[in-house]
Chains A and B, each alone.
Chain A
Amino acid sequence: AQKVTQAQTEISVVEKEDVTLDCVYETRDTTYYLFWYKQPPSGELVFLIRRNSFDEQNEISGRYSWNFQKSTSSFNFTITASQVVDSAVYFCALSGGSGGSNYKLTFGKGTLLTVNP
């Protein structure tokens, strides 16, 4: 079974601080895919990134970066120089790469990030 753990329920930072959101996953699949979604206060779910298990290169997109470490089954998300607009719930998610598990996306419980001015 797939499992995603986001141990940080809530994080509060002051604007311009860097913040890292942790994500630990469990899967028996050798091929799998990891995702991050953002849910701002308005409620919609916004896709941020998708990585496959064969690509452990870190990825950077503007102020966002992702650190994928297979050895620790982690896919952490860092926001550099946080801004108030980054305030949202962030979800990490996992999909298997074969059989029926590749049809489903399993989400963690989410981390509420509050960036204070």
Chain B
Amino acid sequence: DAGITQSPRHKVTETGTPVTLRCHQTENHRYMYWYRQDPGHGLRLIHYSYGVKDTDKGEVSDGYSVSRSKTEDFLLTLESATSSQTSVYFCAISEHPPGLVSGELFFGEGSRLTVL
């Protein structure tokens, strides 16, 4: 199994509070992703990183920011959590982009966030 650890795995917070989710990998993969999973929406890309300090937005990036100061860690921050951000968040890593050879994504176990 790919060495991906997400923390925390479960969190309950209140509207308006900041929240940071951490994704840590031991595979030294260049590419890292944050997705959210919601019923009826499947998996939607929030942000991704293609190297240290190199990040870009996905399709649902509003209200989220990310940082990647070292290869192994990719942080997702909700500056001021809202109830619409209640979701399961998945981190994924890949050695190569999915649009190149052997570019499959490997996923973490997910972090369930509830915003009251």
**Residues 76-116 of B at the A interface (beta carbon under 8 Å):** 88, 90, 92, 97-100, 103-107, 109-110
Task: Decide: A47 near B104, CB < 8 A? Known: A103-B97, A103-B99.
Answer: yes
**Residues 97-117 of A at the B interface (beta carbon under 8 Å):** 97-98, 100-110
Which residue of chain B has the shortest Cβ distance to A6 in the bound complex? B42
User: Quick check: is A60 within 8 A (CB to CB) of the other chain?
Assistant: no
User: Quick check: is A41 within 8 A (CB to CB) of the other chain?
Assistant: no
Least Cβ–Cβ distance between A32 and chain B, in angstroms: 7
User: Quick check: is A91 within 8 A (CB to CB) of the other chain?
Assistant: yes
A-B contact pairs, 9 of them (CB 8 A): A43-B88, A45-B92, A95-B97, A96-B99, A97-B99, A98-B99, A104-B48, A105-B45, A106-B59
**Residues 34-82 of B at the A interface (beta carbon under 8 Å):** 35, 40-45, 48, 50, 56, 58-59
- Asked if B44 and A107 sit within 8 Å, CB to CB, the answer is yes
Q: Give CA–CA (A114, B109) in the complex, Å.
A: 22
Interface range, A side: 20 to 34
- Asked if A109 and B104 sit within 8 Å, CB to CB, the answer is no
Task: Decide: A33 near B110, CB < 8 A? Known: A107-B42, A109-B41, A110-B42.
Answer: no
Taking CB atoms, residues of chain B closer than 8 Å to A64 are: none
Residue among A95, A98, A101 making CB contact with B103, cutoff 8 Å:
A95
Which residue of chain A has the shortest Cβ distance to B107 in the bound complex? A45
By a beta-carbon cutoff of 8 Å, the part of chain B in contact with chain A is 31, 33, 35, 40-45, 48, 50, 56, 58-59, 88, 90, 92, 97-100, 103-107, 109-110
Taking CB atoms, residues of chain B closer than 8 Å to A104 are: 45, 48, 58, 98
Task: Decide: A109 near B56, CB < 8 A? Known: A35-B98, A104-B45.
Answer: no
Which residue of chain B has the shortest Cβ distance to A101 in the bound complex? B99
Q: Give CA–CA (A91, B35) in the complex, Å.
A: 14
Which residue of chain B has the shortest Cβ distance to A44 in the bound complex? B109
- Asked if A45 and B90 sit within 8 Å, CB to CB, the answer is yes
Taking CB atoms, residues of chain A closer than 8 Å to B107 are: 44-45
Residue among B56, B90, B104, B106 making CB contact with A100, cutoff 8 Å:
B56
